[in-house]
A and B are shown apart, each in its own frame.
Chain A
Amino acid sequence: MSTLPGEVTPDVVPVRGEAPALEWVEVDREVVAWNAEREELHRLDPIASLVFLLCDGVTPVRVTIEELAASFGQPADRISADVLTLISGLARDGLVQLR
């Protein structure tokens, strides 16, 4: 399974930010989130929203990749880089934290 440079690896456990630091709503399978510290609004596309919703603070990225691969009928290797990039972006925007 491939990895990207940086802190996000398949072994990290991402967790969504919590209120009041992060407020979010899911609207028709897309997430709109408010990062209170940075005073920034974000709208996530459906794929990013799905990954965000899977950041439950329990599930390692490796398992998330496997579950998404199964859902989309794709080999894990094919989607892992995209998932790692998405989680890295979510972390960079302060929407998830990495454990």
Chain B
Amino acid sequence: MTTLATRPSVATTPAPTTWAWSSGPCRALEHTFEVVVEAGWPVDALAPVVAPFRVRGGAHAATTPRVRYEIRSADREGRVAAYADGERLATGRSTAAVLGGLAWHINRSVIEHSVDRYVLMHSASATLAGVTVVLAADMESGKTTTVAGLLRSGFDYVTDEAVALDPETCLVSPFPKTLSLDPGSWPLFPECAPRISGHRLQWFVEPYRLGSTVATAPVTAPEIVLFPKYVAGATTEVLPVSPAEATHELARMTFDFARHPRRNLETAARVARTATCARLRIGDLEEAVELVHELVSQRILDTL
């Protein structure tokens, strides 16, 4: 069972009795939360981390936050901080450090609170013309870069972190966190450069900056499952894998697999049996995107 790697809290100045800004209820899969901000903090900086999950309209009243995140302004030493239910998550002299801690906690909490409801696979996903593509891979394999390329080419965004499969239907519920682009991918997406300069470890990229829209309701069961791997200088190609190999890989990518092994194994097998499954070796992003479009076209043709 995954537990949050929380850090010891420290004595702090009392929280203000009123907050300058509140996100209102937010929901990311089964994790619900609220973010409140002390006066003096640049609220706009929170948008990439919080905005995808703010609850709108009628669902507002039905969402009870599990966690309240507090963003505190600079203390006497000039350090800003983020807290989760009073426990310190991150502190630093830059907003970026605090945002990183907040994003980390939200992601971990989403996984922890959602693995009972969903089969969660460490994957990115996007959809085009009703065909859902899943990119399943370990960290640093090129998932986010590839899905960003797909979004720029017309796909709708589902997630760059965790594919949430309903174990009964295999429909995929969106977890549309803002994309986190590592420095190695920045030259491929110059249009996504932050509008405010400053040192960053990652770029937070909202899908609209890639010309994409976000899926707001469950999308179809995966029809294309790819295992991407960026290899510098390699020929970009699709290498089919057997359903059993795909099942093994999808099981390996499942968060907290041991918590529901029977369910998770059956779901991985069901997806692998019905989807087009292949390794995607990526030497060139645009060529990889073109290959994915061809796979989508083939799936559509197969259904006619």
List A residues at the B interface (Cβ < 8 Å): 19-20, 23-25, 27-32, 34, 36, 39, 41, 43
List B residues at the A interface (Cβ < 8 Å): 242-245, 247-248, 251-252, 257-258, 261-262, 265-266, 268-269, 272-273
Known: A34-B251, A41-B251, A41-B252. A23 touches B262 (CB 8 A): yes
A23 touches B261 (CB 8 A): yes
**Complex CA distance for A95 and B248, rounded to whole angstroms:** 16
A28 touches B261 (CB 8 A): no
Task: Name the A residues within 8 Å of B257 (CB-CB).
Answer: 34, 41
Task: Name the A residues within 8 Å of B247 (CB-CB).
Answer: 25, 27, 32, 43
| Subset of 6 A-B contacts with CB under 8 Å | A20-B261, A24-B265, A27-B247, A32-B265, A32-B269, A43-B245
Task: Name the B residues within 8 Å of A20 (CB-CB).
Answer: 261-262
* Closest CB in chain B relative to A33 CB, distance in Å: 8
B261 touches A27 (CB 8 A): no
Task: Name the A residues within 8 Å of B243 (CB-CB).
Answer: 27-28, 30
Partner of B248, one of A29, A36, A41: A41
B251 touches A30 (CB 8 A): no
- Which A-B residue pairs are the 3 nearest by beta carbons? A30-B244, A43-B248, A27-B244
B244 touches A32 (CB 8 A): yes
**Complex CA distance for A36 and B257, rounded to whole angstroms:** 10
Partner of A34, one of B242, B245, B265, B272: B265
**Complex CA distance for A43 and B265, rounded to whole angstroms:** 12
**Complex CA distance for A29 and B244, rounded to whole angstroms:** 8
* Closest CB in chain B relative to A48 CB, distance in Å: 11
**Complex CA distance for A43 and B245, rounded to whole angstroms:** 7
* Closest CB in chain A relative to B255 CB, distance in Å: 14
**Complex CA distance for A32 and B265, rounded to whole angstroms:** 8
**Complex CA distance for A24 and B262, rounded to whole angstroms:** 8
* Closest CB in chain B relative to A64 CB, distance in Å: 22
Partner of B266, one of A25, A30, A31: A25
Task: Name the A residues within 8 Å of B272 (CB-CB).
Answer: 27
Which residue on A lies nearest to B260, using beta carbons? Answer: A23
**Complex CA distance for A29 and B266, rounded to whole angstroms:** 15
Among B244, B248, B251, B273: residue with most chain A CB under 10 A? B244
* Closest CB in chain B relative to A38 CB, distance in Å: 11
* Closest CB in chain A relative to B213 CB, distance in Å: 35
**Complex CA distance for A39 and B257, rounded to whole angstroms:** 9
Among A23, A27, A29: residue with most chain B CB under 10 A? A27
A36 touches B261 (CB 8 A): yes
